[in-house]
Amino acid sequence: MTITLITGANKGIGHETARQLLALGHVVYVGARDAGRGEKAAAALGARFVRLDVTDDASVAAALAEIDAAEGRLDVLVNNAGILAHGAVDGPTALRAFDTNAVGVVRVTEAALPLLRRSANPVVVTVSSSAGSFWAVTNPERPEYGLPLALYSASKAAATMLTVQYAKSEPGIRFNAVEPGTTATDLTAAFGVGRPAEESARVVVRLATLGPDGPTGTFQDENGVVPW
């Protein structure tokens, strides 16, 4: 039995990732900041709900303590929660973007590490973005080149770097970051772009189901390793 926690899983890619991992036999904890929405999403999926706000240390600690008490370990962590933070580029917006997209990864990962170390096959996937790839945003042939998302891009670059650094400091756990593809979610609604979450979730699921000999410290999309 594989015990999995997905943050921000009440909608979008996180919700669809939960659905696909449940179909593979995982016990999935749907982490969500809003208890009402999270409980409703978990019930619809047949998953378990845990209240988890990645910007709140106490919330994160309580969520992982709840999973620890129920399961005694964690096999897969998917750091999925994120915000676009488009519009105004100012201090408060920057703090909010980094607090969710980068510091949130640290909060949840640090709280999860003791549980992950008890797993026979621990895996961490961080949903990042090629908008945070220096290679992509400086390449005129890439769509990221023209995206006006300074704070989102910078915070996702940080999330990818955190993934690489965790892979180095925790060699017994496979850490990988993923670009799931431009997806039609609440996050991209302002741009009117994207493919179904079901397709993008498959990219996350592939990295979430790695075996012990799988890669670590990589940034990948559906085609393999992405330069960054």
The residues carrying an active-site annotation are 129, 156
β-pair partners for 195 = 183
Strand order in the sheet with 3-6: 48-51, 27-32, 3-6, 76-79, 123-127, 174-178, 218-221, 224-225
Question: In this structure, are residues 97 and 152 in contact, taking their beta carbons and an 8 Å threshold?
Answer: yes
For residues 5 and 15, give the distance between their C-alpha atoms in angstroms, rounded to a whole number: 11
Element (H, E) at 164: helix 150-169
β-pair partners for 81 = none
DSSP state of 204: H
Question: In this structure, are residues 82 and 187 in contact, taking their beta carbons and an 8 Å threshold?
Answer: yes
In sign, the C-alpha dihedral spanning 218, 11, 77, 23 is negative
DSSP state of 100: I
Tokens of 182: 């431009």
Question: In this structure, are residues 31 and 52 in contact, taking their beta carbons and an 8 Å threshold?
Answer: yes
- CA-closest candidate to residue 7, choices 47, 50, 43, 44: 50
Tokens of 174: 């496979």
